[in-house]
Amino acid sequence: MIRFRHASISEKYKSYEWLCLSDTAQMHMGNPDYPNSPIPDWSEFKEDFEDFYYLEETRKKGSVMIINNDMEEIGCLCYACFHLKPQAAELDIWLKSKEYCGKGYGTNALINLCEYLEAVYNIKNFIIRPSVRNTRAIRAYEKAGFKKVEKDERQKTINDYLIPEYISEYGDGDYGFEDTEVLIKTTE
C-alpha cells in the first residue's frame, strides 16, 4: 500500500539527499548517462525547489510530497502548476534508493497522485518529462497511464500546457528539447 503526504519545510534537505546524494541520482542525472543535466548541489537545489514547494499555503502552485510504503518513507513525488495553464500539473518522482525500484511503488504513487490532484484541485491534465534515455521511468509512466507524445508533436504539447511567458524557461525540459521525452495523461 502506497501513501503520500505533503513534505514540510523541515524536510527540504532530506528530499535533496534523496534526489541528489542517493544511489538513484545517477539513474536520471549527471555523468555518465546524463551529462547535460548535472546533479544539483544543495545551493542549486534550494533555488530549483523554492520554499513554496514545502509550504501549506502555496500547495496550489506545487508541492513536494513524501511517499511511504506502509513500512517506511521511500522517496518523493513532486507536482508543479505555477507555470501551466489551468487544470494541469507537471509531475516528478524519485525513490530514495535502488532497493525500492522495480517493485511497482513508483507507478502506484503516480496513479494515486493523479487521483489526489483531480479530487483536491480539479486537475485533469498531467505532464511528465523524463530523459529519453530513462527507459525505466518511461516504462513506469506508461504503466501509470501516461502516453508518449510523438517527437514532432512535442512543441505543440508544450504550447498547450505551458503559460506562454514560461515557455522560454521551461519549454525544453530538464534534458534539452531533443533529449526530453514528453508524456501526458488526461482524465477528461
Ligand X SMILES: CC(C)(COP(=O)(O)OP(=O)(O)OC[C@H]1O[C@@H](n2cnc3c(N)ncnc32)[C@H](O)[C@@H]1OP(=O)(O)O)[C@@H](O)C(=O)NCCC(=O)NCCS
Contact between 130 and ligand X by CB under 6 A: the answer reads yes
- Which residue stretch of 8-16, 52-60, 105-113, 149-157 sits at the interface with ligand X (rule: CB under 6 A)? 105-113
Q: Is 24 in the site for ligand X (CB under 6 A)?
A: yes
Residues with Cβ < 8 Å from 184, sequence gap 6 or more?
125, 126, 127, 128, 146, 147, 149, 157, 161
Torsion region of 127: left, alpha or beta (phi above 0 gives left; psi -120 to 50 gives alpha): beta
Any contact of residue 104 with ligand X (CB under 6 A)? Answer: yes
- Asked if 28 is part of the footprint of ligand X (rule: CB under 6 A), the reply reads yes
Q: Please, which residue, 102 or 176, has the CB nearer to ligand X? A: 102
Selected binder of ligand X within 2, 64, 81, 101 (CB under 6 A): 101
What whole-number distance in Å separates Cα of residue 53 and Cα of residue 47?
11
74 forms part of the interface with ligand X (CB under 6 A): no
Task: Report the residue closest to ligand X, judged by CB.
Answer: 106
φ, ψ dihedrals at 4, nearest 5°: -150, 160
What's the gap between Cα 163 and its chain centre? 18
Which of 5, 60, 85, 136: binder of ligand X (CB under 6 A)?
Answer: 136
Sign (positive/negative) of CA torsion 18, 129, 40, 57? negative
Binding residues for ligand X, rule: CB under 6 A, are 24, 27-28, 75, 92-95, 101-107, 130, 134-137, 139-140, 143
